[in-house]
Structure 1
Amino acid sequence: MSRVRQVDVLIVGAGPAGLAAAARLAAARVPRVEVLDREQQAGGVPRHCAHGGFGTWPHLLTGPAHARLLVTAAESAGAVVRPGVTALDWAGPLSLHTVGPRGPETVEARAVVLATGARERPRSARLVPGTRPAGVLTTGELQQAVHLYGQCIGERAVVVGAEDVSYAAAATVRAAGAEVVAMLTDLPRARTRPARAADARLRQGIPLLTGTTVAELLGHGRLSGVRVRHGDGRDAVLSCDTVVFTGDFVPDHELARRGGLTLDTGTRGPAVDGSLHTSRPGVFAAGGVLHPGESAATAVREGAHVAGAVLEALAGAAASDGVPLSVTPPLRWIVPNRVTPADHGLPYLLRTTAHLTRPLLQVTQDGRTLHRRRLARAVPYRTLGLTARWTRLVDPGGGPVRVTLGDR
């Protein structure tokens, strides 16, 4: 029989969002703030991202240094960080069954924050045919092998994807002493900054194959190559001993799903309002589980924001149901995805599927325009920001609020 313990706030996930929330809550003198993480070391994805760019300008850090800073801040404020502990399932509305070095436990809380992050879909989930050789990795597996364990990954690698995380994977391959044979994407262009794509192609000599997909993995025992298919139907074989599948992030929403929390159809993470309340009273969510693939800086900002909402809940503030917030194509999703007139702090994040020049971003409810702004451009898979100042105009008893992006 598992032991039962009580805490004030239980945070699931010791990545940037969870640690930032824990630091603020503990600094606000919440007595018992506890952070669980199934990994053996706290810090989340930045732990194995050796490149720089983390933190804030001008004090940018490498990923591991940023992770250590977040862990130190949470523990110094008084939070308890417990790596190596897995939250298995819900034991009640605000309690979870866990297992870790102490054995099985049930942890009861006054508030729960889900900061479980996101993961890249592996080869199996992408339905790539072929054999099952060694040498098939995701970015996370690659970075852990190289930066955490110093393992050899092979000599010639193909990187599948052409977004920011793909270029980080290519840099890791090169840091391990291997050659990047090619990067490939099914899109007509890279999803990163033009300067970064040009640097990889021209200075580092990495070919970018656009409109190209992986048709088959080849080899027995160890990968020997990948068969790729170009947009015009032509096939070719790239000789390599490693392939890295990058991007295509999905939220780690298993706990949210098992708890019956409402999931947003766009992000597939928990639906939340501007205070990051989920559909279950006392349960909040922040970070990558809400919007897979966003930066650590965004996760830290949301962690600090959700801590403020938790403090209000612990003081007795009641959460509003809010009004549904939806997007229309070419927008893919928006976070938060419910809105109340009190949601005036956290900016909304959006993603689009189309390249648009000078598009008009509009927010409407029941035919009323709540906000409109002309953007310089919109780029697929790059985040757009939307101020929350218009939320005070929302009619709580009205229909859904809709966000559109178009020429007019």
Structure 2
Amino acid sequence: MDADVLIVGAGPAGLAAAAELRRRGVRRVVVADREAAPGGIPRHSKHTGYGLRDLHRVLSGPAYARALTDAAARAGAQLRAGCTVTDLRAGGGGPSATVTSAAGIEEVQAGAVLLATGCRERPRAARLVPGDRPSGVLTTGELQQRVYLAGERLAGRALVVGAEHVSFSAAVTLAHAGARVLALVTDQPRHQSYAAFKLGAALRWRVPVWTSTAVTRVTGANGRLAAVEVSGVDGGPSRVIACDWLVFTGDWIPDHVLARTACLTLDKGTLGPAIDTTMATSAPGVFAAGNLVHAAETADVAALSGRHAARQITLYLAAAGRPVPSSVPVVAETPLRWISPNAIDPGVLPPLGRFAIRPAEYRERARLEAWQDGTLLARSRPLRLIPGRPVHLRAAWVTSVDPAGGPVRVGAAHSSSSGGAI
């Protein structure tokens, strides 16, 4: 099978890119996804708040997934659910892939490939939490699928590990399924979500947030979760909490298996493929978008990232055979954990005209700054930095980047009363 563009992943980024590619005249657009139906994580996220930035209306997760799926199908993209891309090759003749499904194994030659495989929460094993391995230990994604797609009831006591936006969503899902949420547990000194979320959880469901606390052991009985040991990260005492469900939330990592298979350069900060502002990876013809490159932004931001990638892929296909301009690396410095995109094509702004950034530590009234070879390119207004919570740096300044200069370094300086944003 041949395709002008093969998109791997039918979540918001992949579906939005497919519709945009078809709208721009790309004929053969194939979207492959290993799930039974397209739509990605919003399919099993029943809370509202989806679609504000891209569709300009507010929808529930399932309604948003249907809207993006219908738009891509109406545009003429070929949506193939239940298909797993098991291999990606980025050779001199253009990218190619192996697609495996119930119908067999197919080889796909494409003019370009867009990786939109999204991200996932770091599971218990990756967080090195010791103890037994009973049932009842979940991630938010598994929890939502069991509750909203399979209709399961989860009675009993539950602990949620994490205090990010998604952690409060997990608490709501548990309450909807019949569980009693004992607390949200975070090793951070404070929660990482909005104050309204914390207040709502405390008032509506009587759910406290235990800060500076870590889960240090899991105990099972007869194959089921029985208790969890929690300890203060500052040397405080340990205690054992009897519970029936333990949900690990947040701590996102990109689903980068295919990127590694294709030997794409990975960014040490995001852990996803290194990309420039055109969403191009280190391999010609291979692009990446959505939460694969910025784990994890909201679904509508991922969708707009996919649209941006589609526009750049269309230009790439039209300019086949022409040399690809070199890009300038972007380096995130302390106290920032990562920045995306992590390279600049000086002629192209990133999606939404801004860089996505994750802090590594708390800072009050910090200003983000971008420097190249000793020249200040940009300075943000004063911001509050919170680990795990996104901040953004507007990108109009990228046109001032010297293509022959050194890397652009983005960090944070303490805000003073003098000096405005650039």
TM-score w.r.t. length of structure 1: 0.96
Partner of 1:261, secondary structure, is coil
Match of 1:110 in 2: 111
1:362 to 369, 372, 389: 369
2:27 to 28, 31, 35: 31
Q: Identity percentage over the alignment?
A: 49
How far did residue 345 of structure 1 move?
Answer: 4.8
Cα RMSD of the aligned pairs, angstroms, is 1.3
1:400 to 407, 414, 418: 407
How far did residue 380 of structure 1 move?
Answer: 2.3
The one-letter code of the counterpart of 1:401 is: V
The aligned runs of 1:275-290 (5 Å cut-off) are 275-290=278-293
Contact 1:223 1:240 in 2 (8 A): yes
Which structure 2 segments of 5+ residues have no match?
Answer: 416-422
Partner of 2:224, secondary structure, is coil
The aligned runs of 1:12-23 (5 Å cut-off) are 12-23=8-19
Which structure 1 segments of 5+ residues have no match?
Answer: none
2:245 to 242, 247, 256: 242
Contact 1:95 1:107 in 2 (8 A): yes
Tell me, yes or no, if structure 1 residue 382 matches structure 2 residue 389.
yes
Match of 2:180 in 1: 179
Runs of 4+ in 1 over 3 A off after TM superposition: none
Tell me, yes or no, if structure 1 residue 326 matches structure 2 residue 328.
no
Contact 2:256 2:273 in 1 (8 A): yes
Once residues 297 and 156 of structure 2 are traced to their aligned partners in structure 1, the CA distance between those partners, rounded to angstroms, is 30
How far did residue 65 of structure 1 move?
Answer: 0.5
Match of 2:418 in 1: none
Contact 1:145 1:153 in 2 (8 A): no
Once residues 90 and 339 of structure 2 are traced to their aligned partners in structure 1, the CA distance between those partners, rounded to angstroms, is 30
Match of 1:190 in 2: 191
Q: Residues 327-365 of structure 1, C-alpha deviation per residue, up to 9 Å, x if partnerless?
A: 111011000000121122531111112332322221111
The aligned runs of 1:290-305 (5 Å cut-off) are 290-305=293-308
How far did residue 92 of structure 1 move?
Answer: 4.9
How far did residue 318 of structure 1 move?
Answer: 4.4
- Shift in alpha-carbon separation, 1:294–1:345, aligned structure 2, 3 A: closer
Contact 1:135 1:153 in 2 (8 A): no
Once residues 175 and 203 of structure 1 are traced to their aligned partners in structure 2, the CA distance between those partners, rounded to angstroms, is 12
Once residues 90 and 337 of structure 2 are traced to their aligned partners in structure 1, the CA distance between those partners, rounded to angstroms, is 33
The one-letter code of the counterpart of 2:413 is: G
How far did residue 397 of structure 1 move?
Answer: 0.9
Q: Residues 77-136 of structure 1, C-alpha deviation per residue, up to 9 Å, x if partnerless?
A: 000010000000124530001101220000110000000100111111111111111101
Match of 1:344 in 2: 349
Partner of 1:398, secondary structure, is coil
Once residues 124 and 371 of structure 1 are traced to their aligned partners in structure 2, the CA distance between those partners, rounded to angstroms, is 41
Tell me, yes or no, if structure 1 residue 254 matches structure 2 residue 257.
yes
Q: Residues 297-319 of structure 1, C-alpha deviation per residue, up to 9 Å, x if partnerless?
A: 11011011000000001101643
Once residues 138 and 114 of structure 1 are traced to their aligned partners in structure 2, the CA distance between those partners, rounded to angstroms, is 23
How far did residue 190 of structure 1 move?
Answer: 0.5
Q: Residues 168-205 of structure 1, C-alpha deviation per residue, up to 9 Å, x if partnerless?
A: 00000000011001110001111100121122123321
TM-score w.r.t. length of structure 2: 0.93
Match of 1:70 in 2: 68
